């Protein structure tokens, strides 16, 4: 397995001779029309176990441990409410502890993020456009994706998606 590891802030490929990787993904979805609203919700759970099965050197403390930056558990909840051509989306994501050292001596705390967005679809001739405004990390939680490198706080964005109509 070619694995990208972070050595003092520099990402480098590392060839791991033998790794066990297995997991489970479960998803439950539900949708309902309530008066003029389309309401949909989903819950997604992912379990991922990745472990080195052979020592890279004698006495390697990482043998049998979860690979760095690979959370064992992820949980994503989504609520989507649509009315005519407008949609409100709210999601929350929880990620378990992520180890940043192969011997598990350093780790990133579990992470909970809350995001939301609102979008509107409309047509311009044969082209369908969706314009969406979103906010990631609404609660302005400081979190880390790489040890000692905090991600930005609350993030706002605009997204424009185009779907071209193939009719002639």
Q: How far apart are CA 60 and CA 63, in angstroms?
A: 6
Confidence bin at 13 (pLDDT 50/70/90): confident
- List the Cα angle 34/76/29 in 5-degree steps: 40
For residue range 88-115, what is the model confidence (pLDDT) as tens digits?
999 999 999 999 888 899 888 898 999 9
Q: How far apart are CA 168 and CA 165, in angstroms?
A: 9
- Given a cut of 90, whether residue 45 has pLDDT beyond it is yes
């Amino acid at each position: 397995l070619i694995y990208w590891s972070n050595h003092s802030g520099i990402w480098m490929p590392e060839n791991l001779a033998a790794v066990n990787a297995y997991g489970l993904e479960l998803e439950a979805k539900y949708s309902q029309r309530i008066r003029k609203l389309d309401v949909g919700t989903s819950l997604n759970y992912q379990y991922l176990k990745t472990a080195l099965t052979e020592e890279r050197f004698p006495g390697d403390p990482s043998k049998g441990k979860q690979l760095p930056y690979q959370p064992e558990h992820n949980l994503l909840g989504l609520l989507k409410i649509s009315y005519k051509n407008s949609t409100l989306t709210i999601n929350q994501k929880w990620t378990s502890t992520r180890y940043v050292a192969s011997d598990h001596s350093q780790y990133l705390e579990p992470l909970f993020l809350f995001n939301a967005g609102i979008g509107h679809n409309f047509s311009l001739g044969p082209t369908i456009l969706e314009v969406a405004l979103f906010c990631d990390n609404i609660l302005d939680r400081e979190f880390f994706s790489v040890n000692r490198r905090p991600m930005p706080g609350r993030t706002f964005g605009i997204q424009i998606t185009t779907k071209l109509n193939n009719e002639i």
